[in-house]
Amino acid sequence: TSTPATVTVTGAAGSIGYASLFRIAAGAMLGHDRPVRLRLLELPQAVAAAEGTAMELEDGAFPLLESVDIFDDARAAFDGTDFALLIGARPRTKGMERADLLAANSAIFAGQGSILNEVAADDLRVIVVGNPANTNAAVAAASAPDIPAERFTALTRLDHNRAIAQLARRTGTPVGRISRVSIWGNHSATQYPDIFHAIVGDTPGAEIAADQTWLVDDFIPTVAKRGTAIIEARGASSAASAANATIDHVHDWVLGTPAGDWTSVAMPSNGAYGIPEGLVCSVPARSVDGRWEVVEGLAINEFSRGRIDASVAELRSELDAVSALTVS
Ligand code: NAI
């Protein structure tokens, strides 16, 4: 379609924002025939930096880029928006307790959810990248009663892509021949990258998973702790790969997942696989006519069940902690 899309990016002057905007402007997210109107939302102290990024976007002379506007007011930034990429969040600073982090972010995401509820376009789609991403998405969805909950998602595509990359490295299979990998649970160290249903070249993933030592001691922790390994190596957290995954997520949501494959999306649970409703939990999903659908009916073995349950329990405790804050 050539209808212009309005895309609001929060935290636009941050690292992931910077790594996302130029590819969005180039058509990588919504297709190379869809004009884009970019809106950058930042905190007041980062507006000047966002203005610098906007100058560079202008200098890209992107044929699809219709406009770039900068805001420090969420209501104006989300007015009529079709896509909200919620990247900006309160980072954990020295001495900050987990409860403080949850409280600061739940205030941000509750506020943004209720503003989206009032002013966004009817076809709004939301992806939360800012951590704790799953719980932030759950809070935003709960604050937007008029928007179908399924429009609120959180990013676990980076974990999904990392799992594919590790499988490719282990087996020497090109990434393009690896499909049906699943990330379950939270975007955190408890996430469960599941290869039991994967297809790796001509080999069933279950055959590769049969090497339990590699699965438990190498593959799962390498994927789950990849973010930390990147911080240690580059002295800064994943930015370009996170931006890439964000673009992949929205791209597939709008334009569809490849035939025969699926991806991983953190989305409000519909109760499938025994995941309680209200949690935003990563599951294997396909995009059908612009809507995410859980891939249902996969046989879950005992090993996978234990891992999924542990991550779901963590999501439950995060959301309970946030609810307790809201009530008190
Ligand atoms: P960054 O610190 O470089 O940029 C964040 C930007 O957000 C800053 O410019 C800040 O001014 C802005 N910001 C903060 N609160 C805001 C608000 N209420 N409204 C608008 N803007 C706001 O951080 P970076 O590296 O870009 O990461 C952003 C977030 O993404 C972090 O929370 C990080 O933990 C998370 N992340 C999530 C991943 C995932 O896979 N789900 C992967 C990597 C990072």
59 and 189 housed in the same domain: no
Structure confidence at residue 94 as a pLDDT band (50, 70, 90)? confident
Q: Which of 98, 126, 154 is the last residue of a domain?
A: 154
110 and 16 in one domain? yes
pLDDT tens for each residue of 17-61: 999 999 999 999 999 999 999 999 999 999 999 999 999 999 999
Assign 1 a pLDDT band (cuts: 50, 70, 90).
low
Q: Is pLDDT at 326 greater than 90 in this prediction?
A: no
Domain check: are 138 and 219 in the same one?
Answer: no
Render pLDDT for 112-147 as a digit per residue (tens, 0 to 9): 999 999 999 999 999 999 999 999 999 999 999 999
Mean pLDDT of 295-324: 96
Considering the domain architecture, whether residues 302 and 161 belong to the same structural domain is answered as yes
Listed in order, strand segments (DSSP E) in 170-278 are 178-179, 182-184, 192-194, 199-200, 203-204, 263-268
CATH number for the domain spanning 53: value is: 3.40.50.720
Other CB atoms within 10 A of residue 239 CB: 17
Q: Are strands 178-179 and 152-154 parallel, antiparallel or unpaired?
A: unpaired
Q: Tell me the average pLDDT across 55-69.
A: 98
- Judge whether 274 is annotated as a binding position: no
pTM metric for this prediction: 0.98
173 and 143 share a domain? no
324 within a domain of the structure (yes/no): no
pLDDT digits (tens, 9 = 90+) for 275-291: 999 999 999 999 999 99
CA distance 153 to 96: 26
Residue 104, in any domain of the structure: yes
Whole-number Cα distances in Å, 31 to 5, 12, 24, 155: 11, 21, 9, 20
Of the pLDDT bands very low, low, confident and very high (cuts 50, 70, 90), residue 296 is: very high
**Same domain (yes/no): 177, 34:** no
Ligand 1 neighbourhood includes 115 CB (under 6 angstroms): no
- Looking at the structure, tell me whether residues 146 and 195 fall in a common domain: no
10 and 101 inside one domain: yes
How far apart, in whole angstroms, are the C-alpha atoms of residue 183 and residue 267?
Answer: 12
DSSP state of 172: T
CATH code: domain of residue 220: 3.90.110.10
Residue 278 lies in a domain: yes
* Mean pLDDT value of segment 63-73: 98
Within a domain: 325: no
- Average confidence (pLDDT) over 195-220: 98
Question: What's the rounded mean pLDDT across residues 98-113?
Answer: 93
Residue 321 in domain: no
3-class secondary structure, 264: strand
State the average pLDDT over residues 78-106.
92
Q: What is the pLDDT of residue 248?
A: 98
Going by C-alpha positions, the residue among 130, 101, 111 that lies closest to residue 12 is 130
For the stretch 170-190, pLDDT in tens is 999 999 999 999 999 999 999
d(CA 289, CA 128): 21
Whether the per-residue pLDDT at 328 is higher than 80: the answer is no
To the nearest whole number, what is the mean pLDDT of the chain? 96
Q: Determine if ligand 1 sits within 6 Å of the CB of residue 155.
A: yes
What's the alpha-carbon Rg for the chain, to the nearest Å? 19
Both 121 and 200 in a single domain? no
Best residue among 237, 241, 244 to mutate for probing ligand 1, ranked by most atoms within 8 Å of CB? 237
Give the pLDDT confidence score for residue 103 in this predicted structure: 92
Q: Whose CA is nearest to atom 5 of ligand 1?
A: 14
Is the ipTM reported for this complex over the cut 0.90?
yes
Q: How far is the CA of 308 from the centre of ligand 1 (A)?
A: 27
Domain count, the chain: 2
Same domain, yes or no: 150 and 184? no
Count of residues making up the chain: 328
Residue 327: per-residue pLDDT: 61
Say if residue 174 is in the same domain as residue 126: no
Q: Is the pLDDT of residue 211 over 80?
A: yes
- Which of 154, 185, 203 is at the close of a domain? 154
Task: Indicate whether 119 belongs to any domain.
Answer: yes
276 alpha carbon – ligand 1 mean position (Å): 28
- Ligand 1 atom closest to 236 (CA): 25
Confidence of residue 97 (pLDDT cuts 50, 70, 90): confident
Residue range(s) defining the domain that contains residue 210: 157-316
127 and 229 together in one domain: no
Beta strands 5-10 and 65-71: pairing type? Answer: unpaired
Asked if the structure places residue 82 within a domain, the reply is yes
Q: Tell me which residue has its CA closest to atom 29 in ligand 1.
A: 130
* For residue 100, pLDDT beyond 90: no
